[in-house]
Structure 1
């Protein structure tokens, strides 16, 4: 009987850097929540996310508690920390620091993964060393849209790398439980950032009004509802899908690498919207903030339609309907005070969770996947 691979303490220590990095991405988006600001924040988030994904996949397929692997993970953590430090001015004076730290993180992983091999294998890490890393560094020497354009190209290369190197990825022997747990932990990190984004401004406010406290409670209820959407059914479905997939590398690419990028980015967007709502509960949210709050939540819910299709070749009807409802309510939310807009969104997500809970109970199953049936694992 095989022993299930456990998440190493060194991996959890590495995640602490990601907590700070996600906070910095949120701050970048909070500073400029227009379309251009949102695009720049996403472009900056992809390299950070890819550093985490690369090291997570390596830890999944190797012994993360080996001293050399630990030291490499610490070195990558230092690089990720430098990237996070550079983020507030990544499109300003710290662009080269951001790009150089990313390049170093990928060089560390490439040395660990290919150091003993005499030939260069086509992997996502190889492409990042040969293409996306140099593109980021080159962009660090430029300004304005020239930098943004090169960094966007680098992000595109990173996103395309798992598909371009599919043959090499298929040779990897993934541990399903470990991989599903690691990506679930990253979702938890993003949800934790949403709580920090809401609580920190309120804690430093000289006066906490009843409206502010109510908004904090409502934002926390929304964070809990988002947690429920993922961890009540979807987390088990991801693991089940990985374990039963004919080609695990394809599921890992579509559902984990791509799907969770969308999930985590959408949570960050919602966190920015919640923070603004808590800061000004009696005022209307600016249009950009309303789009982040409602659009981010709609993207979060709609992503489960994408992931469920790649897991089980069926649609998550309840979540797609809920996503459409959130988008339909966006114009209404723009006319409401922040607290009311936040309450309306919380009500929709809570209603979704209650509907799915009723669906599971009517089927006579609990979300522990005792039967292993895909139609129970995600409505």
Structure 2
């Protein structure tokens, strides 16, 4: 009981920080809805990763810092995410359908890139000042900035690959570092040398005439490998999923504002609302990885990767719902159908991976996870003959069946 009473929960600062994600998810979902090529979709995915990585780095830092979290650092990062969100409509303007007024590498692209690098740097500096080595997600304490900066000065065809390379390097750095204990030792040694260098500079500056004699340079903190507070981390990741679901709900509401409400629009909207309810119930039941709880949770680095895919899938579903409702009585465009059911498929892929790691019973795979995954893929690929309202119904039924496992078998 004492452990339960002292369990950490998200602070008011962290909840306030999360509000910026709503604006960012809305902008990316809207941009995704207007995408017409694979390149446009890829850029949307890259922007989502950049915003997700900033949120993750800050949340991981707050997880290990606890009550010592630097409030100003979090608020500055919040401002940075706001700049990134506001820049989304103008990032790589050549990819905007029908828009060519701003040259490659325009002001919004520069603002997005600079804000991203500054925000990641804030998290890295905060953790280093506290003497923490975050081994379970090393990207918190570093970012390969060169690809993002160089991308501002090269042709678009090359810039896309630089963004992709920067993201892959970021993920590999985290995964390989988290799985390699020697990497943590090297990082600790690097931070220790950095702090000692800062101390030497501070000792030299103390002889300057404008420095007060009673000001002594602070000694560097002891360097230690941070331990993850798993309950707090899982709560933060789950709250992020809820926030993204809230943006999907906003898409459903916005799609209804200028429509005549006939039975097809009404049915499609109710089905979309029910779909989001089921995804919310699965999140509250299983957490951010949609699989029955087990005694074998994902490693923190694997949980963060799964979280990236799940939240990205929900953003794609939001874009699909935003395009489906206005076309409720017609045949849905292929891209919108893929957004909705491709997102569902990714959602169930992650559930399968979590289920394998957690050693969930075989009947769950055969009766729930695999059928839901197959239906999602088949409707995404072959669902064009179906009217849009019926696709919304199918999209709502699939997670409803997925959720029924808890009632039919475990209940």
TM over 0.5: yes
Residue 394 of structure 2 is aligned to residue 344 of structure 1: yes
Q: Is the 8 A contact 1:254 1:307 kept in 2?
A: no
SS of equivalent to 1:284? coil
Give the direction of change, closer, same or farther, for the CA distance of 1:113–1:216 in structure 2 (3 Å limit).
Answer: same
Q: CA deviation at 1:338?
A: 0.6
Does the CA-based 8 Å contact 1:282-1:338 persist in structure 2?
yes
- Aligned pair in 2 of structure 1 residues 115, 37: CA closer, same or farther (>3 Å)? same
Mapping of residues 232-247 of structure 1, within 5 Å: 232-234=285-287
Task: Name which of 16, 22, 28 aligns with 2:19.
Answer: 16
Q: Please say which structure displays the higher CA radius of gyration.
A: 2
**SS in structure 2 opposite 1:303?**
helix
C-alpha change, 1:137 and 1:311, in structure 2 (3 Å) is farther
| 2:176 alignment partner in structure 1 | 164
Deviations 1:62-107 (A, max 9, x none): 12x54x6111000111111111111111113221111100010011
Q: 2:289–2:354: 8 Å Cα contact kept in structure 1?
A: no
The alignment status of 1:279 with 2:326, answered yes or no, reads yes
Partner of 1:192 in structure 2? 246
Indicate the residue corresponding to 1:52 in structure 2.
55
Question: In 2 relative to 1, CA 320–302 (structure 1 residues): closer, same or farther, beyond 3 Å?
Answer: farther
Deviation by residue 1:24-47 (Cα, 9 ceiling, x = unmatched): 111121110543222221111111
Cα offset, 1:235, TM superposition: 5.2
Contact 2:134 2:225 (C-alpha < 8 Å) held by counterparts: no
Q: Measure the CA separation in 2 of the matches of 1:213 and 1:325.
A: 24
Aligned to 1:377: none
Give TM-score, length-normalised by structure 2: 0.78
Q: How many residues align?
A: 349
Partner of 2:301: 253
State how 1:55-66 maps to structure 2 within 5 Å.
55-63=58-66, 65-66=67-68
Match of 2:123 in 1: 109
- The equivalent of 2:140 in structure 1 is 125
Aligned pair in 2 of structure 1 residues 233, 117: CA closer, same or farther (>3 Å)? closer
Q: Where in structure 2 are the equivalents of 1:131-170 lying within 5 Å?
A: 131=144, 133-166=145-178, 167=181, 168=184
Whole-angstrom CA distance in 2 between matches of 1:143 and 1:24: 25
Partners of 2:308 and 2:109 in 1: how far apart?
22
* Separation (CA, whole Å) in 1 of partners of 2:347 and 2:134: 37
Match of 1:297 among 335, 341, 344: 344
| Richer in helix (by share) | 1
Query: Could you tell me whether the CA contact under 8 Å between 1:198 and 1:216 is conserved in 2?
Result: yes
Following the alignment from structure 2 to structure 1, what is the Cα–Cα distance between the partners of residues 392 and 290? 29
- Find the counterpart in structure 1 of residue 309 from structure 2: 262
Residue number in structure 1 paired with 2:370: 320
- Give a deviation string over 1:128-171, Cα, whole Å, max 9, x none: 0xx1x232122123342222111111111221122232232993
Gaps of 5+ in 2: 94-105, 188-223
TM-score, normalisation: structure 1? 0.84
What's the secondary structure of 1:62's corresponding residue?
A: helix
The answer on whether the counterparts of 1:91 and 1:143 sit within 8 Å (CA) in structure 2 is no
Distance 1:6 1:91 in 2: 39
Gaps spanning 5+ residues in structure 1: where? 362-379
Please give the root-mean-square deviation of Cα atoms over the aligned residues, in Å.
2.7
